[in-house]
Structure 1
Amino acid sequence: MTPVISAYNWVPPPARGLVRDLRIRWALEELGRPYAVETVLHQDKTAYRAKQPFGQVPAYDDGEVQLFESGAIVLHIAEQDERLLPRDPAARARAIGWMFCALNTLEVPLLQLAELNIFSAGQAWTEGARPKVERWVRQRLGQLAARLGDKTYLDGETFTAGDLLVADVLRQAPDAMLAETPTLVAYRDRCTARPAFQKALAAQLADLNGPPPPGWG
């Protein structure tokens, strides 16, 4: 069965290109595997919660495995092909470690920064919270840049599922802040220049053609 992934048919402009179904599309594009898309409507998620109990995207169904959570889905796909997870046990373990790093060590502070800058922008409490969160983000970005060094990818010359998730998470960083670590700008751009990413991004943007939910704006 062709894998089916869930995706929204509309999101606000700041989220376009950043919704997490992109990670699943990218993984499948890296392997040259076709997939289908199931549209999830913002205003009616009752039936969808049988697949994703929190009503978020993505969910995944390949006829044998049904999953939610983007990291788990990417890991499931990557386990099937050495182009995303090397066969060498040590290299494979390192790639999986970077996947967890992306979704925990890196994404958590970046999501907190997005809360301050986008979702709660203009609220009085954000100004007091911002310096601490910005220091946290800068610390993590600096530590990642130091570890990456002059390597092409996180484990040398081989792109893995770890790079896929780390690079996608870095796309959430404000451009001005990421520019403070040119090594990471080059790394992010190197990863997202891959044809598989470009195809995945174009496909997601093309699917975001629905109307906004009632009451938006």
Structure 2
Amino acid sequence: MTPQVSAFRWVPPFAQGYALDHRVRWALEEAGLPYDVILVDREILDGSEYRAWQPFGQVPAYRDDQVELFESGAIVLHLARQSEALAPTTAAGFARVTAWVIAALNSVEPHAKNFVGLETFHAGEPWVKDYRPVAESGLRRKLTGLNVWLENREFLEGRFTAGDIVMSTVLRELTDSGILNDYSATRSYVDRCVSRPAFQRAIQAQLEDYKRNTPPGISD
């Protein structure tokens, strides 16, 4: 069967281009694998059939002839086992890619989302002023370590891999905040990753789905 990935039928403008199915679409595009998109809405997400595929009612979920999976990192790693475009074929090389995927999701993403969420979801709330320095300090510790690693590297492991897909999509959420401007190697790395044609195709496909399914009376 052609691989299938679930994606939101539509999201509000602030979230467009950031829903996590784009990680999976990007990996599929890099690997040159065809895929079908299964568009879902809240009713489908809460249904028993979808929950049997994705227990938490989120996107993305993925299936092919071998597996049914959920969680974007797990899906990207599954695809990386199928394509040398996404990871080396050696056990050691694949283990390094796995380490970077986990680092992106466990070491960097929680701090990035915590920081960005202050303005996205909590702007104007009285506690934000006092908490923001704490959130920023935690994020900067991670960005400092990553920036040192990237200073003399084009990608995390010397060549583009699935680790770069996950790490750069985590970091991309920080672009509008301006914090990456203090970490030149990291900012250049993100720019390098998102300039890849496969990334552009993946994002454009996601945005076209939203445009086709914009609810009446809502500007996209």
TM-score (norm. length: structure 1): 0.93
Any stretches of 5+ residues in structure 2 without a counterpart? none
CA distance in 2, matches of 1:125, 1:34: 47
Shift of the alpha carbon at 1:185? 1.1
Question: Paired residue for 2:179?
Answer: 177
Pairs within 5 Å for 1:73-112: 73-112=75-114
CA change 1:141–1:57 in 2 (3 A) is: same
CA-atom RMSD in angstroms: 1.6
Matched, 1:49 2:74: no
Shift of the alpha carbon at 1:63? 3.3
Matched pairs, number: 213
Shift of the alpha carbon at 1:28? 0.3
Pairs within 5 Å for 1:50-199: 50-156=52-158, 158-175=159-176, 176-199=178-201
Any stretches of 5+ residues in structure 1 without a counterpart? none
Shift of the alpha carbon at 1:91? 2.2
CA distance in 2, matches of 1:16, 1:70: 17
CA change 1:78–1:119 in 2 (3 A) is: same
Q: Provide the identity percentage.
A: 48
Question: Paired residue for 1:9?
Answer: 9
> Match of 2:62, SS?
strand
Structure 1 range deviating more: 114-123 or 4-13: 114-123
**1:112-131 CA distance string (max 9 Å, x none):** 11221101222112222111
The structure with more helix, counted as a fraction of residues: 2
**1:85-112 CA distance string (max 9 Å, x none):** 1023322211110010011101010111
CA contact (8 A) 1:5 1:60 kept: yes
TM-score (norm. length: structure 2): 0.92
* Paired AA for residue 160 in structure 1: T
> Match of 2:87, SS?
coil
* Paired AA for residue 107 in structure 1: E
